Amino acid sequence: MADSDTVLGTPVREMLALLRPVIADGADLGGAQAIAAVFAEAAFSTLVEPGDTDAVALLTALGARRTLRAVALGESGESVRERTLRSEAHDPALNAERINRALQRWRTRLGQDSPARALHRAHLLRVTLVLPDSPFWPSGLDSLEHGRPLALWVRGDPSSLSGLRRSISLVGSRTATGYGTHVALESSAGLSDRGFAILSGGALGIDAAAHRAAIASHRLTVCSLAGGADRLYPAANTELLTRILASGLILAELPPGSAPTRWRFLMRNRLIAAVSQATVVIEAGRRSGSLNTAGHAAQLGRPLGAVPGPVTSPESAGCHRLIREYAATCVTSAEEMAELADPFTVAGPDPVAEPVDTRILRELSRTAPRSRIDVAARTGIEPAELSAALGRMSALGLAIESAGGWRAVQR
């Protein structure tokens, strides 16, 4: 390992010391070149704002290390463009003027010790860095193409990100009514019982209710924050966010210490829409930020649902508009919300060989075992067929039998 190989003046050995405690799958980061490349990716995530398509386009064409060097050395947009033209991943929209503006934008935020400071802070806070080539990376984010995040900074067990392969985002107004809160609680609990992870934004109102019900159901819930993963916002939900950390995940695309801003909230919403299989707006007024999340889901082609409310309630006007003008599916129960997600699976279908298996999976809980009699009653499947299906599902790793009955396997 050659210490002369540096990034932003940081020697390889120091890079390795900074990365090893925080990289999600970094037991073996490889040689000096690989370590420098990962460090450069981490560094770039401290320089760019969420949704910076220029950053992803340049990193795709040149790699993080070469792009970071261009920023640090004050290279011109024209010289960088000439190098991108030699790349098979060149984006024709990246002209010299656009590249120059991007380089200047990042240069103003470049401090030689800022990546090291972010990684050190992440280590102290037990924040894990998940990069796009990590096996833990949520594949749904790739549908954002050049708008995808450069990295995820995660609090909690990063392997739990695999639970997002079967997930639904529940979002809505911060000023929820009693009706909206009730629907959010019931929907989240019902979806949790059907094996879905619940994703939301940790805000007051609908978000908080969705998270609380998932926690009570002992199912994975994930909160996507607009600032750093250490900035538990809003302060009024600090206790709830701390409870999420105990059994779920908090994720952010900005490094620890980053403050949430209005723009960052709007850009954060695209992650909520992209990561999950479907998005449901529980209750929203005409100006609710959750409509922004719904817009991202629609642009990505994700299933979008909206819960109707009283026609006299301004807090449901946004949901009614989504149904009327944006072809959102009207959903009134957890079962209908689950049907939204079933046809679309971000990471590919589960290995279920028979349609009857799907019926059984919908009725099996991940936490509370159910007897064969209970499962038969819920599914309407004859005992002999049910026994054969459960045996098949056990062999596929989809269900497991315990003393109390059958339950679905966490996936």
pLDDT in tens, 86-100: 888 888 888 999 999
Of 155, 115, 160, 141, residue with least CA distance to 19: 115
Task: End-to-end CA distance of the chain: give it in Å, rounded.
Answer: 39
CB 359 within 8 A of CB 394: no
Question: What is the pLDDT averaged over residues 60-65?
Answer: 92
Band (pLDDT 50/70/90 cuts) for residue 112 is: low
Band (pLDDT 50/70/90 cuts) for residue 222 is: very high
> pTM of the prediction?
0.80
Compute the distance between CA of residue 317 and CA of residue 171 in angstroms, rounded to an integer.
15
Question: What is the pLDDT averaged over residues 237-254?
Answer: 96
What was the pLDDT predicted at 391? 86
Question: What is the pLDDT averaged over residues 236-249?
Answer: 96
Does residue 390 carry a pLDDT above 60?
yes
Band (pLDDT 50/70/90 cuts) for residue 2 is: very low
CATH architecture, domain defined by 355-408: Orthogonal Bundle (1.10)
Does residue 47 carry a pLDDT above 80?
yes
Taking each continuous run of H as one helix and of E as one strand, the counts in the chain are 17, 13
What was the pLDDT predicted at 293? 97
> Cα 277 to the chain's mean position, in Å?
11
Compute the distance between CA of residue 27 and CA of residue 97 in angstroms, rounded to an integer.
41
Does residue 188 carry a pLDDT above 50?
yes
Question: What is the pLDDT averaged over residues 196-210?
Answer: 98
Band (pLDDT 50/70/90 cuts) for residue 343 is: low
Band (pLDDT 50/70/90 cuts) for residue 352 is: very low
Band (pLDDT 50/70/90 cuts) for residue 351 is: very low
Compute the distance between CA of residue 369 and CA of residue 402 in angstroms, rounded to an integer.
7
What was the pLDDT predicted at 355? 66
- What are 180's two structure tokens? 């909206």
CATH architecture, domain defined by 139-341: 3-Layer(aba) Sandwich (3.40)
Question: What is the pLDDT averaged over residues 306-327?
Answer: 96
Q: Report whether the peptide linkage leading into residue 11 is cis, meaning its omega lies within 30 degrees of zero.
A: no
Average pLDDT, rounded, for the chain: 89
- All structural domains of the chain with their residue ranges: 6-115, 139-341, 355-408
> Where are any strands of DSSP class E within 140-241?
152-155, 167-171, 197-200, 221-224
Q: Do 139-341 and 355-408 agree at the fold level?
A: no
What was the pLDDT predicted at 9? 84
